[in-house]
Amino acid sequence: MIKRFVEKVQTLFTRRRRAGKPRQVLRDEHGIQRERVPRSALRVCETLQKAGHHAYIVGGAVRDLLIGVTPKDFDVATDATPEQVKPHFRRAIIIGRRFRLVHVMFGSETIEVSTFRAAANGEQAVDAHGRMLADNVFGTQADDAARRDFTINALYYDPTTETVIDYHDGVKDIRRRRLRMIGDPQGRYREDPVRMLRAVRIAAKLGFEIDEATRSPIARLADLLGNVPPARVFDEMLKLLTSGHSVACILRLRAEGLHHGLLPLLDVILEQPEGERFVMLALSRTDERVRAGKHIAVGFLFACLLWHEVLKRWKELQAAGAHRIPALDAAIDEVLGRQTEKLAIQRRFVADMRDIWMMQPRFERRSGRAPHALLAHLRLRAGYDFLALRGAADEAPAELVTWWHDFMHADEDGRARLLAAAPAPPKGEGPRRRRRRRPKSGSEAASAAGSAASS
């Protein structure tokens, strides 16, 4: 009863806010410095405003500027349609079908420009579960604010007047460190189930609490994520894992009941003790790299996340009698096949993952020409870093990790000494030798010649 009353009050408040004027937050109150907005985003807004349109920095960029965090991306929202936006910029393309947008490019920077969307009115195409399939019905700024997911993302910053426009008390929610859905949370999750993942990611990244009305439907609607195209799930999971707060995000997913069945890799991370240490160590190091502004190799990250699924299946196949290397290759195929049903990992990342995994048994071969051949491998560094991570998690011998570190950095004489001191390769992993044919005796040769003649 109380919950229903709260939802009615929230709905009534939203309608009144939509009918009235938004709150205008001036610079003295919001504290955003215009100098923190890149020139490319300012230029897009100024160009569209000079052409007679409204244009604002919008969404997560405004939120981050208010919090004091440097935004990763700057998006612009406008009342101009994509066809009206494109002619104003030399390098601009219209993209998307479900949501048509304009990408305006300035060198290596891309500013995403969206047109104000209309409020849900039955014209938008939805599937049997209520998920929105297409949304290119344009509307007013107030409609657009009501269509955004969370109050802290429904903020518009006009760089010309340096004013923040707030329709749903997003500024107040930022100060309270609270994540709150605009409108009815259950209906909004049905429109786009990915919002459940976004809620977890944003709350974990910012250290916000999820409002109870926003949080409560997540557990019972988690199955709706199964209707989302795998490519979209991959994009959202990539944002989560490279947010710099992946460990917090993963733990939050578990707390909200979103890990079961969503991704096999999450079940592995959170419910298989032998894999949890390795994966959490990998995620912690990824978070450190993100916060330090260093490059993240996506293929390496997903190789870490799926390694224990591969390892488990590899051991099973060997126990069934399969040879070691063919068993690993088959295990990789099986795991990647299952994973792509829920998560569409791009082929270029899959190639990296396969190379990293297939190198692991090759590191154990430290005799003959095998180590020198491995030195020439294109992804040697990634493979070695993976081996070192296994060593840190007590899954690979520390002596093996040290040997390869020394071998990679030694000169020719040093490598010769390391090879001489290296232990014998694992059983069945020694260098293959070609069998030499025994020379035929004179009588055997004559017999063979006779047989050939008679045939």
Place of tokens 């406008």: 78
User: Residues 419, 366: contact at Cβ < 8 Å?
Assistant: yes
Residues with Cβ within 8 Å of residue 59, at least 6 apart in sequence: 75, 77, 148, 153, 154, 155
Which of 135, 144, 149, 192 is catalytic? The answer is: 149
User: Residues 145, 167: contact at Cβ < 8 Å?
Assistant: yes
Q: Is 161 helix (H, G, I), strand (E, B) or coil?
A: coil
Place of tokens 């993100």: 290
149 is catalytic: yes
H runs (alpha helix) in 51-156: 60-67, 82-85, 141-147
145, 180, 137: which is closest to 56 by C-alpha?
Answer: 145
75 is catalytic: yes
CA distances to 43, 345, 398 from 165, rounded to whole Å, are 20, 38, 57
Print the SS3 string covering 12-79: HHHHHHHHCCCEEECHHHHCCCHHHCCHHHHHHHHHHHHCCCCEEEECHHHHHHHHCCCCCCCEEEEC
Number of other residues whose CB lies within 10 A of the CB of residue 325: 13
Handedness of CA 143, 144, 150, 152 (dihedral sign): negative
Which of 75, 79, 143, 173 is catalytic? The answer is: 75
Which of 73, 223, 235, 406 is catalytic? The answer is: 73
Number of other residues whose CB lies within 10 A of the CB of residue 253: 26
> Residue 111 pairs with which residues in a beta bridge?
104
User: Residues 89, 83: contact at Cβ < 8 Å?
Assistant: no
> Residue 113 pairs with which residues in a beta bridge?
76, 102
Helix axes 298-319, 264-271, angle to 10 degrees: 80
Q: State the greatest distance between any 2 C-alpha atoms of the chain, in Å, as a whole number.
A: 108
Q: The tokens of 172 are what? A: 């107040």
- Residues carrying an active site annotation: 73, 75, 149
